[in-house]
Amino acid sequence: MQAESLVGKPVDNWFVQLESSEAGLTEEQVRSKLAKYGSNELHVHKSKNPVILLLKEFMELFPLLLLGAAVLSFFADAKSPGEGYNLIAYALLGVVVLNALVSFIQKFKTERIMMSFLEYIPEKTTVERNGQKMVIDAKDIVPGDIVFFAVGDKLPSDLIILKSSEVLADESILTGESEPVSKIEFANVNHEAIKSGILYSGSSILKGDGKGIVINTGKRTAFGRIQHLAEGVKEELTPIRLQLKDFVKKITFLALAIGIVFFVIGFFLENSFWTNLIFAIGIIVANVPEGLLPTVTLALTQASQKMARRNAIVKDILSVETLGSTTVICTDKTGTLTQNKLTVRKAFLNMKEHSTDDIPGLQNNAASRPFLEVCRLCTSANSVLDKGTYKYVGDPTEVAILEFANKVGNIDHHSFTGLKEKAFSSSDKYMSICYRTEGGTRYTLFKGATEVILNMCSQIHLNGDVVNLDAETRKRLTTVHEGYENNGLRVLGLAYLSTDDEGEVWETEQKHNLVFVGFIGMIDPPRPEVKEAVDKCKRAGIKIIVISGDKAETVTAIAKELDIVDKPVVVSGKELKEMTEDKLNKTLQNKEIIFARTAPEQKLRVVSALKEMGEVVAVTGDGVNDAPALKKADIGVAMGGSGTDVAKEASNIILLDDNFATIVAAVEEGRAVFDNIKKFITYILTSNIPEILPFLAFVVFSIPLPMTVIQILSIDLITDILPAIGLGNEPPENDVMNRHPRKSSDKLVTWKMFLRSYAFIGPLEALFSFILFFMILHGGGWHPGVEPEPVLYMTATGAFLVAIIFSQIGNVFAMRTQRESALRKFAVRNNWIFLGILFELAFAVAIINIPYLHGFFSTGALPLRIWGLMLIFPAVLLFVEELRKLLVRRGAAFLEL
C-alpha cells in the first residue's frame, strides 16, 4: 500500500483503508490477508541442491571439450583397438570428474557460509490482535496488523507510526546513511516529509518506543522492492569466463585444423579413410591439454583460500581473477572506508579549538568543567555491564560523546541529583536535563542542533566567567560551526543555566537566556589502513569512485582525508536524476568523482554506465540498497560483518572484516592469478608439440613411433601437473601493483603464447627428444625401413619421454617470469615447483631403472652419456628464453607474450 494516500486523513480512515481497527485484526482477517498477501518472508538466498551444483560443473566449456575428446577417443578405440585410445578416454573422464569434485567442494563450502548468514527478519514480534497483545512469528504479520516496537528491535515490515516516544531509527541498511533518522507520528507528517512517519522493514530502533500499523509485508516492503530490483539485474559473464571461453575456441580450432590437415595428407600417402580418421582423432586428442583444467581449478581454489586467510570469502572461484582486472572501484563510505562508529573529533570551548587527542589542553581549558558536565550528564545513553566491563548503549551520537567525556576527565555524577528530563524531538531539535547540585542550585543542561542552541543563548562561558554573547562573538561561532559542517562533522551545541527558581527552564522565557559553553564535532572516522590501500590503487591505475547516501560534505571530507580525491566533481542524487546518459558519461570521465545522497537505482545506473564505457567495475556495499549495483558489477563485494543477506547474495566476494584494504589485497591476488594462469597455460601447451610430432613423423616418414599414448598421458597428467600448479602459486611479481589494469581487449591466451609453445620452445623440446631417440636407435644398429628390436625400441622411446621431462624442467623455470630475468627467481622459494621437479626426476629415474615399469611405460635402461646429454637440455632452453626476455626488455615488443 502507498502511505501517501493516508497523509492528512483521520486515523479512523487509516484503519478503514487497511481493513483493521484500534484493537487490531481478528483471526479471520489474518487468515484472509495471509491468503491474499502471503507470508511476510523474503527468500534472500535459495538453498542450492548439491546434486545440481555438481552437475553444473560438467556443463562448462572446458569440461565439455574434454568430454568431447573422450568420446572421440572411445570411437577411435572401437575402430582401432589396442592403440591405447581407451586409456586416453578414461584419463580424460577422470580429469573432468576430479576437477568437478574440487570445484564442487569449494562452492559447497561457500553455500554453507551463505546459509549461515541468513538473519534478516526477526523470528518473533509483538502485535495486538483482537484487543490483546501477543508474540507471534514475524512471518505471520499481515497488512493491518498493529506492531509494537522498542529500543533494539529490528522492524519486520513497513509500518506507519500510530504512537511513539521520540523515536530514532537506523535505516542505513536501506539508505546507506549512517546518521540515525528521527521519526514522528504519521498524523503529524505532510507530503514533503512523509518518510519521517514511516518505519521500514529491516531498520532498527535506536531510541524510543511505540506502535504502528503495518502497510506492507514481504516483497512489497521497501526492503523487498530493492531485492526485486536486484533480482531483475541480469548477471553477465565475468572476464575470466569470457577469456576461458575464448581459449577453448582457440584450442578447439587449432586441434581441428591440425587434425583436418593431416587427415587430408593421409590420402596423399595412400592411407585408407579409417586409418586417416583414426590418425586425425589422435592428433586432435593429443592437442587437448588434459592437465590444464585441474590446474586452472586448483590455482583459483588456492587463490581463494589465500584470500579467505585475508578475510575475503570467494563465492565463485572465477571471481578471484576478475578482481585483478578491475579498473574502477565504486565504494560506499560507511563501514568500508570508515569505522562505522561515531567518534568525537573536535571540541570548541572558551573560543578555542581542541582535537580529541589534546587531552591536557582540554583539561586546562577554563571552560572544560561545564563543557564536560554537559557532555557527561546531558545524555540519554546508559551504561551496562557486559562480560565484566561497563559499556555504553543507546544512540551512537550519545555514546560517542559519553566516551569522549570519560576519556578527557572524570565528572562525579553522584554529586548531581536528576530532577526532570526533556527528550530530544525533531520539532525543537534539542534535549535538556535538570539537576540539583549539592549546593541546592537548579542546574539545567542543554544539547542539540547548533543553530538552535545558539539562538537560545544570550551569554557565553569565557575565561572562567559568564559574559554577554555579543554579535561579533556570535558571528565567529557561526563561522566555526559552518566550517565544521563543511568538513563533514556532525556538530552539536552545548549550553547550561544555573538558577534558584523552581520550574523547568525549557518551559519558561529563561530558555532564551542560556550560557553557551561550546561545540562538539563528530565523525565516523576513516579506517587507518585504508589510506595505504588507496595509494596502492592509485599506483595500480585503479580509479576510486565514492557513492554514498550520506550528505556531500561528509563524503567529500572522508574522501579527501583518505587522499581519494583532492578537487572532486561532486554530484548529488538530485543532479544525477536530472542527468542525461551523455552527461553522465562525460561526468564519469572526470578523474575524481563523488556521488552523494544517491538512491539504489542511481547507484545501479552509475555502474551500468561505467560498464558500457568498457570499465571493469568492482562495487562494494552492505545495505539492501546496494544489491542491484552489486549484482550488475563485474565483481560485487559485500560486507560480511555489517552487510545484509540481500547484499551478500548479490555479491561475488564477502569481506569478513568490512575493510576496503582487504579489497586492494584481493586485487593484488587477482592480478597475480591472471599472470600465473598465463604462465602455466604456456607451460602446458609447450609439451603438445613434442607429443604431436612423433605421430606425424610416424605416418609421414614411416619411422618407429617415438612416443606411446601412455607416455603422452604420463606427461600431461603426471609430470606436468605439479610444476604447473607451482606456477599457479607464484607470488605476485614486484611490479604487479605498479602496472595499469590490463585492457579489456587483452586476451588470457594470445597467439603469441601459441607461437612460443608451438613454434619456438615446443619444437626445440621435440628436437632434443628426436636427437636422443635416433642416437639410441642408430647406436643399436637400427636402419630406416627395419622394425627395431623391442628392447632397443623401448629404450629409444624412454629416452624421448625423459628428454621432454627434462626440457619441461627448464621450461618451468623460464616461465616463472614474463619479462624479468627468471634467474633471480632461483632465490625465491616455491615449494610446489621444487616438489614438482623432484617428483619429475624421481619419476624419470624410476621408469628408466625399474624393470617392472618398463613394459607399461615402454622404457628401458639408458646409458650414462644419455643422462649427461639430457642435463644440457633445460640449460639450453632456459638460456634461449633469457635471451628472448632480454630483447623484450630492450624494446622488442613483438617477442613479448
- Give me the active site residues, please: 332
- Measured CA to CA, the distance from residue 547 to residue 322 in angstroms comes to 21
Residue 418: strand, helix, or coil = strand
- Asked if 629 and 619 count as a contact pair (C-beta separation under 8 A), the reply is yes
Amino acid at 519: F
Pairing of strands 514-523, 457-462: parallel
Are 830 and 726 in contact, with CB atoms under 8 Å apart? yes
**DSSP H helical segments within 756-862, as ranges?**
762-779, 790-814, 831-849, 851-857
Residues 336-361 as b or e (16 or more Cβ within 10 Å = b): bbbbbebbbbbbbbbeebbebeeeee
CA distances from 677 to 240, 244, 323, 827 (A): 10, 10, 14, 22
Phi then psi dihedrals of residue 87, to 5 deg: -65, -40
Please answer whether residues 794 and 859 qualify as being in contact, where contact means their C-beta atoms are separated by less than 8 angstroms.
yes
Cα(220)–Cα(231) distance, integer angstroms: 14
Q: In degrees to the nearest 10, what's the CA dihedral of 273, 275, 280, 282?
A: 160
What is the H or E stretch that residue 148 is in?
strand 146-149
CA distance 715 to 691: 9
Please name which of 689, 676, 673 lies closest in space to residue 755, comparing C-alpha atoms: 689
Q: How far is CA 236 from the centre of its chain?
A: 16
Query: What are the Cα distances from residue 42, in Å, to 38, 45, 137, 228, 442?
Result: 11, 9, 14, 10, 53
- Distance between CA atoms of 754 and 661, rounded to whole angstroms? 37
Q: What is the dihedral of CA 225, 228, 234, 239, to 10 degrees?
A: 80
Gap between the Cα atoms of 767 and 761, Å rounded: 10
Strands 382-386 and 389-393: antiparallel
Residue 405 corresponds to which cell in the numbers above?
A: 567525556
All residues at 6 or more sequence positions from 301 whose CB lies less than 8 Å from its CB, including other chains: 102, 103, 106, 317
631: which residues sit within 8 A by CB, 6+ positions away?
230, 233, 235, 650, 651
Q: How far apart are CA 451 and CA 448, in angstroms?
A: 9
> Which cell numbers hold the place of 672?
597475480
Our CA angle for 666, 670, 676, nearest 5°, is 140
Q: Which three cell numbers stand for residue 188?
A: 503529524
3-state secondary structure 364-404: HCCCHHHHHHHHHHCCCCEEEEECCEEEEECCHHHHHHHHH
Q: How far apart are CA 77 and CA 71, in angstroms?
A: 10
Contact residues for 343 (Cβ-Cβ < 8 A; gap 6+): 356, 400, 404, 522, 523, 524, 525
DSSP notation for 667-705? HHHHHHHHHHHHHHHHHHHHTHHHHHHHHHHHHHS----
Judged on CB neighbours under 10 Å (0-12, 13-18, 19+), 473 is: middle
Helix axis angle for 552-561 and 471-486, nearest 10°, is 70
